[in-house]
Structure 1
């Protein structure tokens, strides 16, 4: 499902943009969840616990303007699509540091917003939302791969560390760890930097020679033998050269 976040500190403006977005989704029969935020802090708090594919941001907001919010979002998610909507044209050049796909002036022309949404949807890779079935002692759990921060192989079991701070542990594996995590690696969003670990590249905050540091304080070790390969794959991902499904 497509997740869209709209942030504008003016209630009437927020409602108007949301109405256009819902109209567009209905016309194109797109299954989506739309979340509304009146304050940028509320949006950034939500970003820490869930992922949005498309952001529609006002620029002139209290405490933290839309450009700074866009930078924070881009730090968290390099693939998210950002659309700016504002009454102030002078911020256009500065706004592009967050790599938005469009910059729309208020009052919003509905067709311009529709065209921007169509572009954003076309650039959004929903295959990353593929579900994994994980067999545990308690039964079978299903997860989206974007909910996984990293996973570790230990004593013939796999421990999944989740972005919400929780974890799941599989039953005893029959096959090899590399076979078990093949769907993650195939997505292009995960790397195996160590024989016993896989890491979600979206969650990486810092890359060091010995380990990845993830948001939330998790660390994932990097094997000395694999360092060069892991470094190249990570840089290709950061530079947008890694092939994603």
Structure 2
């Protein structure tokens, strides 16, 4: 009769389950995908944060604007509208585009002005006496340079100014959106208040109401940028590219 030890020796060892090659590949792919997503978020964190904040605030604007608009409709004895209908209304379009208009005018103008003007001591200014940077010379193009630089000619001329052009084109589109949305909102308001006939976008462009809306935003945008330019002369923000390093003197221009 076998002893207990013999029985133990005779019992076949249990083999741990092994993963198939396909399972290992799937797990590895998931791990690589997770690492890739984390790497993408790290590499694009600033843009992701900005656009996420934009989406949240735009959503909140639409909700609060919808509630405000319905309160106005109720005051005039009109029926409130649903949220999807509000998103297609002039009230919402006007509010959105008049702000986009001022933002992109400010950014486009700022990019252009910093190419030609200097503010001594500001982190937002190019160094005094600098015209083009060495890297702006197309003769120093490399195989890794963007294709318009390698091609030259008209593509290069456009590409050299493409950032300001893009911002100003978005400004122009936002200006038109503000005009059309404002016209629709103005006509709806006039119809509620007095039953006045609608006016055209061209007519609304000539009203003080339209330009009041634009100017109240434009002035605040340029005030904010001008304030940043001046404050960056004497104030610092550790680790920010919008600030000069903490240890440099106030007179140093550029970051």
Normalising by structure 2, what TM-score?
0.21
Larger radius of gyration: 2
Normalising by structure 1, what TM-score?
0.22
Which is helix-richer, 1 or 2? 2
Which is strand-richer, 1 or 2? 1
Q: Determine which structure has greater relative contact order: mean sequence separation of CA pairs < 8 Å that are 6+ residues apart, divided by chain length.
A: 2
